[in-house]
Amino acid sequence: MATTTAATRNAQDPAPPKQPSAFEVIREDPYLEPFEQAIQHRTDVYSKWRATIDEHEGGLDKFSRGYDTFGLHQLDNGDIRYREWAPNATSAALTGDFNGWNREANQMTKDSFGVWECVVPAVKGQPAIPHNSKIKISMTTPSGERIERLPAWAKRVVQDVKVSPIYDAVFWNPPKAQRYTFKNPKPKAPRAAKVYEAHVGISTPEPKIGTYREFTRDVLPRIKDLGYNTIQLMAIMEHAYYASFGYQITSFFAISSRYGTPEELMELIDTAHGMGLTVLLDVVHSHASNNSADGLNHFDGSDHQYFHGGPKGRHELWDSRLFNYGHHEVLRFLLSNLRFYLEEYQFDGFRFDGVTSMLYTHHGIGTGFSGGYHEYFGPGVDEEAVVYLMLANTMLHELYPQVLTIAEDVSGMPALCRPVSEGGLGFDYRLGMAIPDMWIKLLKDGPGDEAWDLGNICFTLTNRRWKEKTIAYAESHDQALVGDKTLAFWLMDKEMYTNMSDLTERTPVIDRGLALHKMIRLITHALGGEGYLNFEGNEFGHPEWLDFPRQGNGESYQYARRQFNLIDDHLLRYKYLYLFDRAMNRTEDEFNWLSADQAYISLKNESDKVVVFERGDLLWVFNFHPTQSYADYRVGTDWAGEYRVVLSSDDKAFGGHDRVDKTVRHFTTPMEWNGRKNFMQLYLPCRTVQVLAH
């Protein structure tokens, strides 16, 4: 029987039906169809890497445990084995206090993959390298140059500024009696992440570097009290330059020694787990410090070991090095780095820093993302980095089902937060980075709140991809740095040093600042995503910027701190913002709006400055008007019946004027209003929000 081919088929015959895409993300979003080939190609590269790792390394589980074989390890017989990848080196030796820094005593041998190894025999059954003693790897390069480096997999590096600005690696091998034993089980992944972003070093009112123990004692109870369920710890991975805010990493497997010991960080995380708090690490795999004396740069004397050689391996704006994500040993290093923090310190997940820089060969420099899909595919995409993120999320989610991963991406790449099996990159959440930019722009450049475009505000808050979770936030840690201002500072900076006491006059500036600070945060919380984030101190309107000690300020710690003492002084008005933030999170615990469907906005009245929407079985009514209060204002709702106010920004406890009577019950009338089936009439004081439960 003859068959009809494409060449012989009659022109009038119907075309064969189009086959549905193999990728769920394309079946749900037809605008991705022109880019199916690009999604298929990156998936093929990912699959090839998985097959290679399975064949040569025994799978992702084993491959991501590089920290078990690289670095220094005490063997059962007391010997100490040291392994390091340094393919460019022509000789290598382990030196340190233990052998009088003798470069000849403990020579290393090199295998065909560029991995050096030596074993330091035990002395009378005891390790020859004492706990906490200094060590280095000494290498020669093909040119004959002698270089000394900190082991790349070192678990502890320290600095003695009295002796030298250079860091020293130490062999961290405490006796069993001194090792920390975790007592509390890890909490389940939160229903919706309410994230408290914190930096241990600045988490003290005193002008100094805070410690892990102080954070455990003083800050963890506040985070729990505020109703946050997740902590995101910044600046934990060791960075030689404190003022880099933790974003110029020098030792990836060492935690910052300036805050304390590994055991003290373990105690912090274990204590948080005991409070039911999830703990995330702010991980920096987007780049590494340019520092050669303390970090990975030129580790084996070459320009292209962990990083790309030449301009491709350098970030122009950050003055840092860029990883070669397409190299087998670099993948081992980075995947093992993630696994190490989950196993050794019991972190529960990661916020990946600088994801936009990773995703694109232009690193986002000089690029404004318009939202056109062509920007997310093609030659501008760094496919090796994309595949690394796919591998990282696969490894993490397969081995740790409760893990959380958050991407810091400003570009809005489609499918970033969809499973790899569906054509995505596998993150759980992305940060809604356009939201804080919007708020700061409004307060910095105007217009005044009397002329705010409520339609644009609501659009920015709700403009996110379906089935991709977003963490909303009103202001970022970058906006707390010197040279910029927090929301509270933009609102009230002229009077924050004179009129934040209840003993002083409540001026129009302070009254406006308190009101808008609460309203901005709540509308962001309610409309902006499926999670929420706050940078420490911003919850109570911290009055000053962040400025780390540096030459330009005389190495001062005056502004490298968070003044939690301000909320403990009950004469000051900071307590009102703190208590509102607490009430906001606790009300969400009760009504679960972050895990509800996106809101239905029934009213954006630009002249009245009123916004009304429904989300999470709650009716939200915002009156942004600076002077006009409304009696018997009609608001629509689809839900008939009785309502009560469950949260009002105008409560006296929150620094308001108590104009909303929360004892009053409100009832609907069955008549269509603003596209809803019913309406009710409410008193809406100016610059207030009230949330009503049905």
408 pLDDT tier (thresholds 50, 70, 90): very high
What is the Cα gyration radius of the chain?
28
115 pLDDT tier (thresholds 50, 70, 90): very high
Tens-place pLDDT, residues 149-196: 999 999 999 998 888 889 999 999 999 999 999 999 999 999 999 999
Tens-place pLDDT, residues 211-264: 999 999 999 999 999 999 999 999 999 999 999 999 999 999 999 999 999 999
- Flag the least confident range among 122-131, 269-278, 349-358, 381-390: 122-131
Tens-place pLDDT, residues 51-104: 999 999 999 999 999 999 999 999 999 999 999 999 999 999 999 999 999 999
> Parallel, antiparallel, or unpaired for β 531-535 and 194-199?
parallel
Q: Which domains does the chain have, with CATH numbers?
A: 71-177 (2.60.40.10), 598-693 (2.60.40.1180)
- What is the secondary structure of 490-521 as a DSSP string? HHHTTTTTTS-BTTS---HHHHHHHHHHHHHH
Please, which residues have CB within 8 angstroms of residue 494's CB and are 6 or more apart in sequence? Answer: 509
> Among residues 214, 238, 267, 353, which one is catalytic?
353
Residue 417 sits at φ, ψ, to 5 deg, of -110, 40
Tens-place pLDDT, residues 19-48: 778 899 999 999 999 999 999 999 999 999
Mean pLDDT along residues 104-120: 97
Please, which residues have CB within 8 angstroms of residue 11's CB and are 6 or more apart in sequence? Answer: none
Per the prediction, the chain carries an average pLDDT of 95
The residues pairing with 119 across neighbouring beta strands, listed in sequence order, are 81
Q: How many whole angstroms separate alpha carbon 13 and alpha carbon 1? A: 18
Do residues 422 and 32 lie in contact, with contact meaning Cβ atoms separated by under 8 Å?
Answer: no
The residues pairing with 676 across neighbouring beta strands, listed in sequence order, are 673
Please tell me the predicted confidence (pLDDT) of residue 18: 63
Tens-place pLDDT, residues 490-501: 999 889 999 999
* pTM score above 0.85: yes
Please work out, in degrees rounded to the nearest 5, the angle formed at the alpha carbon of residue 320 by the alpha carbons of 318 and 325: 115
10 pLDDT tier (thresholds 50, 70, 90): very low
Do residues 237 and 285 lie in contact, with contact meaning Cβ atoms separated by under 8 Å?
Answer: no
Please tell me the predicted confidence (pLDDT) of residue 161: 82
6 pLDDT tier (thresholds 50, 70, 90): very low
Mean pLDDT along residues 434-450: 95
pLDDT at 1 over 60: no
Please tell me the predicted confidence (pLDDT) of residue 5: 34
Maximum CA extent, the chain: 98
Please tell me the predicted confidence (pLDDT) of residue 551: 87
> Among residues 270, 282, 384, 408, which one is catalytic?
408
Q: How many whole angstroms separate alpha carbon 22 and alpha carbon 151? A: 45
Please tell me the predicted confidence (pLDDT) of residue 673: 97
Please tell me the predicted confidence (pLDDT) of residue 2: 37
Q: How many whole angstroms separate alpha carbon 147 and alpha carbon 513? A: 57
pLDDT at 11 over 50: no
Per the annotation, the verdict on 282 as an active-site residue is no
Tell me 588's DSSP state. H
Write the burial class of residue 279 (CB in 10 Å: 0-12 exposed, 13-18 middle, 19+ buried).
buried
Please tell me the predicted confidence (pLDDT) of residue 342: 98
Please tell me the predicted confidence (pLDDT) of residue 371: 81
Do residues 471 and 429 lie in contact, with contact meaning Cβ atoms separated by under 8 Å?
Answer: yes
Please tell me the predicted confidence (pLDDT) of residue 623: 98
Per the annotation, the verdict on 408 as an active-site residue is yes
Other Cβ atoms closer than 10 A to 669: 11
Is the backbone of residue 541 left (phi > 0), alpha (psi -120 to 50) or beta? left
Q: How many whole angstroms separate alpha carbon 377 and alpha carbon 215? A: 43
Q: How many whole angstroms separate alpha carbon 180 and alpha carbon 344? A: 10
